[in-house]
Structure 1
Amino acid sequence: MRVTIADVARRAGVSKATVSRVLNGKADVDADTAQRIREVIAETGYVPSSRAVGLARGRTRTVGMLVPSLTWPWIGDVLQGVVDVLEADGYGVLLYTCTRGEESLRRFADQVSGSAFDGLLVIEPENTLDYIAELHRKGLPVVLIDDRGHHVEFPSVATTNRDGGASAARHLAALGRRRPAVVTGHLRFGCVRDRSVGFAEAAEAAGLHMDPQLVVEGDFTEESGRAAVHRLLAAGTSFDSVFAHNDLSAAGVLRALRETGRRVPEDVAVIGFDDIPLASHTEPGLTTVRQPMREMGEAAAGLLLSHLQGVPMSPTPFVLPTTLVVRGSAPMP
């Protein structure tokens, strides 16, 4: 049977509150009584709950993390980075998703009301910004990961989306491609706008022809990449390369090109964005812009822990660089 704080209190002849004060280093307990309690703890082998001790000290040593869904292919890497940093410092993680919409958010709000965690890491779910902002204003430390909307009021960790888009354009230009098509994500996302601007600026500088008819808005799914290619081909618009704003839609592009008899990379070169595990298993392997997702999770957790230890958080985003990973869908010449 596990020894409880009630067992210690009974053997020491004191209240549970007195035992708790000794455990938390309070100075308002008589020295002899405190010594007797410590001796009972040693004799019984009592191990206090870290959560109970944390609550008594005004801290749970737990961090909340709110994400849209666990089905996003890069969420796992972010989570691993977060967990690696938090667990190394003795913190736990409470993970919440918004897969059930309002119901999920209500359950999350219950945990916030119960002070279940000391701070919050967020990959912003749809329609939650106002609520998260209110939590931040009320004093809950919040760090955004992959700030898709450029919310300057929050501390955040991001990556160089603009430079990543530019590196894709420069690579296609180096391959001699002249008419790139672009499959974007939802244009309301800041990362999509940044990737689009970076690609367009570098393409123009390299003399690539940016035909507005070759830019198709997608939704980051494989099917949207597939549909974009079929739409462009049905319109009779010629293109010799495709930059897709994520690897899932790039996989859909590869699938559509196979279905229509186009060879990759001979007829059409393809570049994605993210470098999720799928990218190295497509046929051919996908050239892509790598986002350092695990490192972003590590950095966000580190920022939050530093704040909990008294270091003020800066509203200036902490930005990590992207890198181009070259594979068979757009190999070096």
Structure 2
Amino acid sequence: MAAARQRSGSATLRDVAEVAGVSPSTASRVLNGGEAPVSDELAVRVVAVADALGYVRNQAARALRGRRSGVVLIVTDPRTASVAALAAGMEEAGRASGVPVSITAVGSDADAHLQALRILRGLRPLALVVTSASFAGTDSERVLAELELIRAEGANVVFVGEHDYDYPSIRFDDVTVGRVVADHMATLGRARPAVLTAVHHPAVESRTQGFVEGLVAHGYDTTAIVVETTEVSREGGRSATARLLGRDERPDLILAGNDVLAIGALHTLSEAGLRVPEDVAVSGVDDIPIAQDVTPSLTTVSLPFVEAGRAALTLALDPAATADVHIPATLVVRSSTAG
């Protein structure tokens, strides 16, 4: 019976319990939460069976299977300025179209992605909008398989940002963004460039490629460009800049993969008694609101995230859409590189 339900995609909690060899109450504690402790070995077995049977853990979601409603934005952290602007654009376009928009936050862990996607699959959304940063660093094969199930069942899937998957996307062309920054920074007459970047962050990695290509095009030797990898956070920018300052030849030019990293760099340079831009020129990307309020104000690239949110919602509601939408960016020169 459980096998038949697995084929029909309607496995129940009792089916999971039967195959896992536990009581329904134990299976419920593992899958839906409960106060009574369950051993790790037992929990792993129940989750594996639930995954194999295609059990949808959120039972409220089952009640909604008969209809489709809303577009869901999937992000890593909804508290960031760029995500907030993206969501605002989607919600604005959603109101105009009569479609509700919601946000689901997931970490970089593949299991968290899978659990969120399975719950959303049961809720039957009209479409999912996935930020590429939220997808980076996961076990993409398993997560992609779940996205394919959602798409096969009638929901559109749209990405925002750089990715290599077979889904339409809203793109900023981050390699070009990096080159635009490098073109500006190369005019400042500095000799020791450094780049702050991150792994498992497609946009920042693409911008880094553009930074390096742009600097080389202006005559910088590739071997002279120091690339420092860190986490995408202000603390990551601070610590990465501290490592740069500990080198025999400290940089006089820092190109950060986003504004958060750049602001962290500004803090470390200030603590070290270095002047910006006189001693070290610094740039970022994104033009988050605080970029113009820090001291000195930050040279950056303005990415229209609200516009991208509107475009993402429009693309998500178009079942025939297959082509990417490219959103142009604008260089904003401020005090951190002036002079």
Q: Under a length normalisation based on structure 2, what TM-score does the superposition of the two structures give? A: 0.73
Q: Residue by residue, what CA displacement relative to the aligned partner does 1:21-61 show, whole Å, maximum 9, x if unpaired?
A: xxxxxxxxxxxxxxxxxxxxxxxxxxxxxxxxxx99x7544
The code of the aligned residue for 1:297 comes to G
Aligned residues of 2:157 and 2:168 also touching (Cα < 8 A): yes
Q: Residue by residue, what CA displacement relative to the aligned partner does 1:67-124 show, whole Å, maximum 9, x if unpaired?
A: 2221233110000010111110111113222259646753552342242x21111124
CA 104–304 in structure 1, closer or farther in 2 if over 3 Å, else same:
closer
Aligned residues of 1:270 and 1:287 also touching (Cα < 8 A): yes
User: What residue is the counterpart of 1:74 in the other structure?
Assistant: 82
User: What residue is the counterpart of 2:175 in the other structure?
Assistant: 162
Unaligned ranges ≥5, structure 1:
1-54
Q: What count of residue pairs does the alignment treat as equivalent?
A: 268
Q: Residue by residue, what CA displacement relative to the aligned partner does 1:261-280 show, whole Å, maximum 9, x if unpaired?
A: 11000010000011111211
Q: Distance in 1 between matches of 2:214 and 2:159?
A: 28
More displaced, 118-127 or 156-165? 118-127
User: What residue is the counterpart of 2:150 in the other structure?
Assistant: 135
Aligned with 1:257 (options 269, 281, 287)? 269
The code of the aligned residue for 1:87 comes to R
Aligned with 1:322 (options 325, 329, 332)? 329
User: What residue is the counterpart of 1:282 in the other structure?
Assistant: 294
Q: Distance in 2 between matches of 1:107 and 1:168?
A: 37
User: What residue is the counterpart of 2:115 in the other structure?
Assistant: 106
Aligned with 2:219 (options 207, 214, 221)? 207
User: What residue is the counterpart of 2:240 in the other structure?
Assistant: 228
Aligned with 2:164 (options 150, 159, 162)? 150
User: What residue is the counterpart of 1:45 in the other structure?
Assistant: none
User: What residue is the counterpart of 1:192 in the other structure?
Assistant: 204
Q: What secondary structure sits across from 1:74 in the alignment? A: helix
The code of the aligned residue for 2:159 comes to L
Q: Distance in 1 between matches of 2:112 and 2:187?
A: 50
CA 277–178 in structure 1, closer or farther in 2 if over 3 Å, else same:
same
Q: Distance in 2 between matches of 1:254 and 1:103?
A: 34
Aligned residues of 1:274 and 1:288 also touching (Cα < 8 A): yes
Aligned residues of 2:76 and 2:108 also touching (Cα < 8 A): no
CA 297–266 in structure 1, closer or farther in 2 if over 3 Å, else same:
same
Q: What secondary structure sits across from 1:112 in the alignment? A: helix
Q: Distance in 1 between matches of 2:262 and 2:324?
A: 28
CA 129–162 in structure 1, closer or farther in 2 if over 3 Å, else same:
same
User: What residue is the counterpart of 2:46 in the other structure?
Assistant: none
Q: What secondary structure sits across from 1:274 in the alignment? A: coil
Unaligned ranges ≥5, structure 2:
1-63
CA 212–59 in structure 1, closer or farther in 2 if over 3 Å, else same:
farther
Aligned residues of 1:169 and 1:202 also touching (Cα < 8 A): yes
More displaced, 253-262 or 192-201? 192-201
Q: Distance in 1 between matches of 2:261 and 2:95?
A: 34
Aligned residues of 2:192 and 2:224 also touching (Cα < 8 A): no
The code of the aligned residue for 1:90 comes to G
Aligned residues of 2:212 and 2:225 also touching (Cα < 8 A): no
Q: What secondary structure sits across from 1:267 in the alignment? A: coil
Aligned residues of 2:198 and 2:204 also touching (Cα < 8 A): yes
Aligned residues of 2:117 and 2:146 also touching (Cα < 8 A): no
CA 204–106 in structure 1, closer or farther in 2 if over 3 Å, else same:
closer
The code of the aligned residue for 2:155 comes to L
CA 154–326 in structure 1, closer or farther in 2 if over 3 Å, else same:
same
The code of the aligned residue for 2:164 comes to H
Q: Distance in 2 between matches of 1:257 and 1:323?
A: 26
Deviation of the 1:236 alpha carbon:
1.6
Which of these two proteins has the greater Rg computed from alpha carbons?
1
The code of the aligned residue for 2:254 comes to V
Q: Under a length normalisation based on structure 1, what TM-score does the superposition of the two structures give? A: 0.74
User: What residue is the counterpart of 1:33 in the other structure?
Assistant: none
Q: Residue by residue, what CA displacement relative to the aligned partner does 1:190-231 show, whole Å, maximum 9, x if unpaired?
A: 323321221122211212344456110122111111111211
Q: Percent identity?
A: 33
